Structure formats: C-alpha cells, structure tokens
Structure 1
Amino acid sequence: MKLIFGVLVKCISVLAIMLATQKVYGVKGEEIMGKEKLIYVMDPQCGWCYGNAENIKELESRLDGKYELQLMLGGMWLGNNAPRGGEGLNQFIKQHSPRMESVTGAYVSEKFYELTSDSSYVFSSLEPSAAILAVMKIAPEKTLEFTGKVQKAMFADGLRLDQEVVYLNILQELSIDEGEFRELWLSEGNIENLNEMFQHSGSMVSGFPTLIKYSNGVYTDVASGYFDLKKIVRILGL
C-alpha cells in the first residue's frame, strides 16, 4: 500500500504541476488528462542540463505531435544555497565539469572557469529561471531555444546571468518582445509563479535534469542525468 500511495502522490503532483502552469504553456484544463506529455525538469545553472541541451533539442524535433514537451524549472541554487564564485567553487567545477564535457560533447570555455572564480558573482538559479519563465509566458514556442541560449551565455561565453543585458541580447536575436520581458522578469507575480514551480518540481524529482513521461494519469521516469537519446527514442516509441 505504501508503494501504491507513493505512486499516487506523484501522479497527483504531476497533475498539480500541469494545472498550476497551464496559463504558462497555453494548455486548457480539459486537455490535460487526454494528452501525452514529456516533462523536462532542469535548471539553467546545472552543468548536466547544459550538456543535454542538444539532446533535448533533437528530441523535440522528433516528437511529431505524439507528445507535448513541457519544461519545468527546478530551483537548484537559491538564496543561501547559491554558491558564490571563488577558489573553492572554481576547483570543484574544474574537478567535475570535464566528465560532463567528455560524455556530452558540450563546450565549456575558459571564460566560464574564470567566472567561477569571481567572488562578486553568485550562481543563483533565480534570475535565469525567472527569465525563462517570462519567455514561457511571452513566447512559449521559443522557450526551449531561449533556454539553450541562456545556458550557452554562461557556460560557453562566461557571462553573468544576473544581468538584464544578457537576456536582452538573446531576446533581440529571437525577436521576442523586450518590453514585456522587462515588465515580467523579476516582477512579484513572476517570482511567485516561479516559486510555485520550484515547489512542484521539488516534489517530483531529486536531481537535474530529469525527463518524465505523463500519459493517462500515469507518471514514468524516462531519463535522469545524462540523456541517452537513442534509448529515450526507443522508450518513447519515436
């Protein structure tokens, strides 16, 4: 009974997430139970999420309407848990990042390593996550592309994700309304929505990235950590 109850709670949590975020994704309440969905839970400060960016992009291109891909933000580093740049963080990243780079083929620049030594920068998930959520509301069809460019801005270009100009440059590139973004980004309402999403995703997964399949009320873990695209495609029958 304990196991069954645990699965039931997770299923209810998935539905709660979808109901709570339907205004973001443009999903009507009556459509939720009938559609098959892939929920991608990630964080813009997560190295393995960056490493999986190309696999997620390729997966989206193969869905062909069979699944609706929904991105959820995890809130990996927030408040006092967000690390400040410095020698300790730099050494930690240098120790762990090469394996991610080797496995995924993702490029991590020397500029990023320099950023990890910058004691004036706090690697908070709040600002980039709020930016992604704002784009979900403004231009949901461009959310995944925007997210990938935000990740690249830090890991490949070594840019700080607490600066508005980083996002404005990406918005211009993707032809997304800058005025709407400025109004939303760190607004009280957007941060409130974001914290709700963090709470829901925290009840769903224990690490990032995680890919979840939701079909007819059933919740299934598809992948976590490194995403093996061939295996995922096989599991999903694509």
Structure 2
Amino acid sequence: MIKTPDNPTLLYITNPMCGWCYGFTPVIRRMRALWQGRLTVKVLMGPLQAYATEPLTPDAKDKLAVSWHRVQDRTSVPFDYRFFTRRGFVYNTEPACRALLCVRLLRPKLTLEVLRAMHSAFFADLKDLRNPAVLAELVRPFGISENLFMTLFESEEIIQQMEEEFNYVESIGADNFPSVFLQTTHGMAYLTKGYTDLNELEQRMLRELEMKV
C-alpha cells in the first residue's frame, strides 16, 4: 500500500447542471469508496452559467445537445432530450449550486449523494433545478427539512458564501468542469481538467502522492 501524506484531499469542482460532471460524479464516488479512510473528498461548485439571464439560443442548444450525446456515449448515463423542446429556458445554475452548498453545510457526508440525485433529476427526469421548491423536495429524502433548507437557502449569508466560492474556484484556475485538484500539506496539484476515467484519475493521484512523501 502506498504511503500517503497526512490528510490528502481531493477537491472536486463540479456543477449540478453540468453534463460532463453528471458523467464524472460516479468516478469520484468510486474513488472515494476505494480510498475510504485515506482520502477526503470535498465538493466545490463552479460557476457554470451562474447568474445567466438570457434564454438559450438555438446555437447554444445545438452545442449543448452535442455535448450531452458525447457524455452519454462515453459514460452511459441517461439523458432526456425533450429538454431541448423547452422554449425560453434560462440556464442559470446558481440556485442549484446554492442548494448543494446548503447540503454541504447541513449534511456534509451526503454531499456527493445529493449531487448524484440532482444530476439525475435534471438530466434524466427534467426537474427544474432553478426552482427552490423542487430543490427542497430533492433534499428531503436526505434528512433535511424543507423549513431548515429554505431558511438557509434564502439567507443573505449563503448567497454571499456562494459568490465567494465561485470566486475562489476561479482564483485557483478551475475554468473547466469537472476539475479535480489534490490538496496536501505540500500544496495543491491539478489532477484533471475535464472528464477522465477512474483508472487514469487514480494513477495521476498516485504519481502526485509518490512525489510528496
């Protein structure tokens, strides 16, 4: 077994409405399971289309559809392409990100599980993750009461914290989602910018760990 630095952490930069993140979250969950007790996984939200105000254009829809098909071809996760019949859809991901931030504060150990549920709800079940009521319904099975969730979700503090997290993600150079960093007492290293499979991700992490012991 490889000797590892104390308390290595994987920073998983993601977004609940990111197609490639939808395909990649199972990889992160398997990595966490394989390295249970030796590795911490922390989920951070990236500002993909956060605060968008304009509806998707036909050209943007076409590009998005191509991307979704590529994700499905590579990872086999299901998509409901009836999404593209929606008119006037504003792809604002901030509410979904803020909801996941609430989950990370209230039930940190369940963050990846809720992220997986949000991905499936949006991409496979056509749930509107911009709607606070839909978000409250999604987190309820994870033991988070609607009143508690909505109080935190609508607070000025959490809105500000979300903005600060977006700024932090941008400051470390995570401009592509998903992205993964390895953080140790020796610093932080980029493991992947975009999708990669479990074996490749683990090999990259092992190389970094071996250089730091």
Do they superpose with TM above 0.5?
Answer: yes
Q: What are the within-5 Å matches in structure 2 for residues 19-30 of structure 1? A: none
Pairwise mapping of residues 62-211 of structure 1 onto structure 2 (< 5 A)? 62-80=34-52, 84-114=55-85, 117-119=86-88, 121-204=89-172, 205-211=174-180
Number of matched pairs:
202
CA distance in 1, matches of 2:49, 2:54: 7
Q: What is the deviation of 1:224?
A: 2.1
Q: Which has the larger share of helix?
A: 1
The C-alpha deviation readout for 1:144-180, integer Å capped at 9, x for no partner, is: 1111111111111112111123222222222222221
State the 1:106 CA deviation.
1.6
> Could you tell me whether the CA contact under 8 Å between 2:95 and 2:132 is conserved in 1?
no
Residue 205 of structure 2 corresponds to: 236
Summarize deviations over 1:83-122 as a string: whole Å, max 9, x none. 52453332222233211211121211123333xx320x31
1:194-230 C-alpha deviation (Å, 9 max, x unpaired):
1110000001112111110011232111122112101
Inter-partner Cα distance in structure 2 for 1:72 and 1:232? 18
| C-alpha separation in 2, matches of 1:62 and 1:83 | 42
Q: Which runs of structure 1 show a deviation greater than 4 angstroms over 4 or more consecutive aligned residues?
A: none
User: What is the Cα-based RMSD across aligned positions, in Å?
Assistant: 2.0
Larger mean CA deviation between 39-48 and 159-168 belongs to 159-168
**CA drift at 1:35:** 2.1
Q: Which runs of 5+ in 1 are unaligned?
A: 1-32
Confirm or deny: 8 A CA contact 1:168 1:178 kept in the other structure: yes
